[in-house]
Amino acid sequence: MATAAAQLETLIQPAVEACECEFWGLEYLSQGRFSTLRVYIDHAQGVDVDMCANVSRQVGAILDVEDPISGEYNLEVSSPGLDRPLFTLAQYELNIGQTISLRLRLAFEGRRKFTGLLRGIEGDDVVLLVDDEEFLLPVGSIEKANVVPQF
């Protein structure tokens, strides 16, 4: 995880949990002067607009006081949704048996994008079955991963 994102997570996670929600993860997208901070929350009974608004107020207040982001930014608070992003090994473990799509930071065997069945976790590696071939991909090398919704 990038240093800026790790610092933001340290600031934000307690505020999310104080709102009785689960901190699922965050994406910090820096685009010059304008940035987006997307915070994902979850709850056993689902996430509604009021929960997102409450978390947004709490997180916004902390960010105003601590001021960890220079320049302008948009704060978005959202449910992870059906195509939920995966950030931690524990989240990968919860989704074993699901189809996931992921992108690596650097190419592995000539490719960066993989979509396949999440078979399991071995140490710090994600085991992904793609076209009858199993790949062990270190979680630290994964830039972005999402569950592929099945309808």
The domain in which residue 57 lies consists of 3-78
Which domain CATH number covers 25?
Answer: 3.30.300.70
Q: Structurally, how many domains does the chain consist of?
A: 2
Kindly state whether residues 58 and 105 are assigned to the same domain. Answer: no
Q: Of 47, 78, 109, which one is at a domain's C-terminal end? A: 78
Kindly state whether residues 21 and 61 are assigned to the same domain. Answer: yes
3-class secondary-structure state, position 60 = helix
**Whether 26 contacts 12, CB under 8 Å:** yes
Give, in order, the Cα–Cα distances in Å from 14 to each of 36, 43, 66: 20, 15, 14
pLDDT for residue 30: 83
Q: Of 51, 78, 105, which one is at a domain's C-terminal end? A: 78
Kindly state whether residues 18 and 70 are assigned to the same domain. Answer: yes
pLDDT band at 1 (very low <50, low <70, confident <90, very high): very low
pTM, two decimals, is 0.88
Kindly state whether residues 72 and 98 are assigned to the same domain. Answer: no
Bridge partners for 120 per DSSP: 127
Kindly state whether residues 60 and 116 are assigned to the same domain. Answer: no
Residues 83-93 have pLDDT tens digits of 999 999 999 99
